[in-house]
Structure 1
Amino acid sequence: MALSALNAISPIDGRYRSKVEKLKDYFSEEALIKYRVLVEIEYFIALCELPLPQLESVSSSVFEDLRAIYKNFTAIDAQAIKDIEKVTNHDVKAVEYFIKDKFDALELSAYKEFIHFGLTSQDINNTAIPLSIKDAMNDVYVPEYSELLEKIEGLATDWAHIPMLARTHGQPASPTRLGKEISVFAARLKEQFNLLNNVPSAAKFGGATGNYNAHKVAYPNIDWKAFGTEFVQGKLGLQHSFPTTQIEHYDHAAALFDGLKRINTIIIDLDRDIWTYVSMDYFKQKIKAGEVGSSAMPHKVNPIDFENSEGNLGMANAIFEHLSAKLPLSRLQRDLTDSTVLRNVGVPFGHTIIGFKSTVKGLGKLLLNEPKFAQDLENNWAVVAEAIQTILRRESYPNPYEALKGLTRTNEAITQISISNFIDTLEVSDAIKSELKAITPSNYTGI
């Protein structure tokens, strides 16, 4: 049966496929094979440019023909490599054999044994995968993140002057402004994104146990460490990890995954706050004709986008957590546990993109219910007690905190009138009383 949205096991490849379609170019099996081919081809060209004595006769005019092997890579090519793998039972060796066939077609058969020369499979995997992650970050993740950040910053600006009753421990607290509370999330996201930008995209490249053993025994007079660094950093645009074991140590990858997880956690925090504001009737939601909010209750318009985002970002974080905790661990010079784990690296990216899109969609459906903001402020005049007692402290009034505590810690409603009456009992000047009476829950919002 052909894979479809209806029979896929993962919702990323099923229900949500349209939302993460772009990620297939970086994290699918076909994409991994293509990136492996890219690294093998560029490595061969680098050996020609060194040059190795046996490759001095290779003309640079064929380099673009070689690069066309990965630039014009197709699903048919990927399937051809998978067919070879059925025989070799080794995925990277299958790539090598595929390229050797291409060399025959390009009349480069004399140079075939310099494909994958001196390398182990992890020299290919540990460059191909970091390169695919880097490209996915730049091409897919950053645009989606930027769209979400722009939406959050836009709402922070739009709502900059909307006074709002704050709630700490769930209880009425000193008033704030809606736009400022939204801007908190924008500031947090930008700080974490800046940290993310400082994480190198690192790659291992050094032979079977990281020491260039095979390279050095064949060509002892070549500085293979310098060559490897130039290849990884100059050709591939990655940071060369050295020394390593047979595999990349994944410490920088772990830092990346932890950074992505923190960004997701901030968005989950936003999702939960907006969900709560909707439940408090601070926001209505735009209604789309034909949509159903509940199969039983016709009146409901649920904040499903924020719930969907929270769930998907939680899934992403669980996998990012495992990736960052597991990948840096390997027995002695290597074991194979990293290989199967790395094949799932696209999954948390998929859930992250779904979460981002859902939050953006949800934010776009919000309708500000300003009367509810004003009503909550008017119903909570007790919150100006902090302002009054602070001014009384300024005036050296005796025990102002205790005086306001006695007024406000009661089950009786505190209103503008009761606050005004209390102010009239204070032994302060009329000017101070006027200053105190000018304070309201709506204008006591700070800077």
Structure 2
Amino acid sequence: MENFALIEPPIALGPLDGRYRNTVAPLTNYLSEAALNRARVYVEIEWLIFLTGHNVLPGAPKLSLEEIDYLRNIVDNFGATDISELKEIENETKHDVKAVEYYLKRRLDQAQNVLGETVLGNLHEIVHIFCTSEDINNLSYAVVVRDAVAQVWLPKARNLVAQLSELAHDQADQAMLSRTHGQTATPSTLGKEIAVLAYRLGRQLNRIEKTEFLGKLNGATGTYGAHLVAIPDADWPSLSQSFIEGLGLTWNPLTTQIEAHDWMAELFSDVARFNRIAHNLATDFWTYISLGYFKQNLAAQGSTGSSTMPHKVNPIRFENAEANMEISCALFDSLASTLVTSRMQRDLTDSTTQRNIGVAFGHSMLALDNLQRGVAGLDVDPQRLEADLDNSWEVLGEPIQQAMRAASIAGATGMGNPYERLKELTRGRRVTESDMRSFISELGMPAEVEERLLKLTPSTYTGLAAKLVDFLR
């Protein structure tokens, strides 16, 4: 039997890098190990440029624009050969951030081959100065998570909400039988029920968009100890704040060796909540399909369905979304609960944990993709919706009861015990249109109330449902 572990190119162990690679591939530019290393290079280079540009280090040269461009091009051109080179260095250092430091020193030495005469080769000791590994790591993670959310995950999630919003407006007037506790209940409209889900999801996205991405650069235990000994006259907190805000992050003034990751926990909890609402969407749509309210468009679904029952087209997009949301939530929950704790001033439990951030977002992305494809492959069946309503005249027991109460309060006689009388009429038996009309006619209601009730049908008993869809922006 062949050993799959030895096959080249390597066979992926997990589904995100195997079966579903194409769907989640955009995240690799931000949340892969290679992307993290590029971000580390970026932070180290920007710190070097910052220190030399702010005259913090006595005797340090001021860099020319050409030299600054050369440094920043290291990040812009970071690719396959750099990834391999860094890996080789790390195999020697056994330390990922130290490998980045040595990699950059190599690039400083190579600058003369590009620029000719340059001071960059003399700046070895400025690379990583005053930094503990976590100074680089926390800023790098903040940058890549921020950009992954903004550039990849949020647009995908926003597209789903926009898709639902459009469907909600299209179906705003389509009456639908509600089912509270799985039982026939006061009708709504299909559009209003979809709008509820779109509104809930949109609200979570608004929270996620307001996430603060915090960072710190203050040394081994957050005291600026080495900074102050080496350069006692510098205002290190102000310099740290200026540098971090220059990266587009929020400065955290009080930390141990690590930035506490509270912002990560907040973000991951919000994304997990979005996932759970989307999971609710998947289960509701699955149920509507099973009720026949939606037909699955075979061409759009691109699905074979059952391998043995040719009549079936399984709602696999929604089932796949459910499963991936559950995996994503489990990971985000674990991340959110684990990352907020670190023993004393530092332990390394966060290091392994954070490497799974991309996996958590990947399963969420996969679920979003399936939901979008699933929703796009649905056609509403108005006849089925109407048939369900027409078989459920008992739902008019609620408005008739309330009308009786209001009429009684207004002085009408014979309106006593409205709940009990409707209960006797409707509970445990099928009520026809004729039954309901006869009941209304025999009540002795004021003429205008009776006329209003006799015009009422399950399909028209939807209240303001259609107008409520307009609350979706």
Q: Identify whether the pair has TM-score above 0.5, normalized to the shorter chain.
A: yes
Please say if 1:42 is aligned against 2:46: yes
Partner of 1:63: 68
- Which secondary structure does the structure 2 equivalent of 1:395 belong to? helix
Distance 2:290 2:375 in 1: 15
Partner of 2:227: 215
Report the RMSD for the aligned CA atoms in angstroms: 1.4
Partner of 1:53: 58
- 1:404 aligned to which of 413, 422, 433: 422
Distance 1:143 1:259 in 2: 16
Query: How has the CA–CA distance of structure 1 residues 318 and 166 changed in structure 2, closer, same or farther, with 3 Å as cutoff?
Result: same
- 1:274 aligned to which of 285, 305, 308: 285
Partner of 2:125: 113
For 1:69-128, what per-residue CA distance to the aligned partner results, in whole angstroms no more than 9, with x for missing partners? Answer: 111111111111111111111110111011111111224222210100011000010000
For 1:341-390, what per-residue CA distance to the aligned partner results, in whole angstroms no more than 9, with x for missing partners? Answer: 11111001111111001000000110111111111101000001111111
For 1:235-278, what per-residue CA distance to the aligned partner results, in whole angstroms no more than 9, with x for missing partners? Answer: x1011112100111011110000000011111100000000011
Partner of 1:248: 259
Partner of 1:292: 304
- Which secondary structure does the structure 2 equivalent of 1:10 belong to? coil
Counterpart amino acid of 2:463?
A: G
Please report the TM-score for the alignment, with normalisation by the length of structure 2: 0.92
Q: CA deviation at 1:26?
A: 0.7
Partner of 1:307: 319
Task: Structure 1: give runs of 5+ residues left out of the alignment.
Answer: none
Partner of 1:442: 459
**In 1, are the aligned partners of 2:139 and 2:216 still within 8 Å (CA)?**
yes
Please say if 1:203 is aligned against 2:221: no
- In the TM superposition, 1:87-166 aligns within 5 A as 87-106=92-111, 107=118, 108-166=120-178
Distance 1:114 1:127 in 2: 18
Distance 2:7 2:339 in 1: 33
Distance 2:302 2:26 in 1: 29
Count of aligned positions:
444
Counterpart amino acid of 1:400?
A: P
Q: CA deviation at 1:30?
A: 1.1
Structure 1 runs of 4+ with >6 Å offset: none
Task: Structure 2: give runs of 5+ residues left out of the alignment.
Answer: 1-5, 112-117, 409-414, 465-473
Counterpart amino acid of 2:426?
A: T
- 2:444 aligned to which of 401, 404, 427: 427
Bigger Cα displacement from structure 2, 299-308 vs 69-78: 69-78
Counterpart amino acid of 2:21?
A: R
Bigger Cα displacement from structure 2, 48-57 vs 323-332: 48-57
- Which secondary structure does the structure 2 equivalent of 1:117 belong to? coil
Counterpart amino acid of 1:446?
A: G
- Which secondary structure does the structure 1 equivalent of 2:251 belong to? strand
Q: CA deviation at 1:298?
A: 1.0
**In 1, are the aligned partners of 2:53 and 2:62 still within 8 Å (CA)?**
no
Distance 1:57 1:161 in 2: 68
Distance 1:23 1:2 in 2: 25
Distance 2:317 2:37 in 1: 35
- Which secondary structure does the structure 2 equivalent of 1:248 belong to? coil
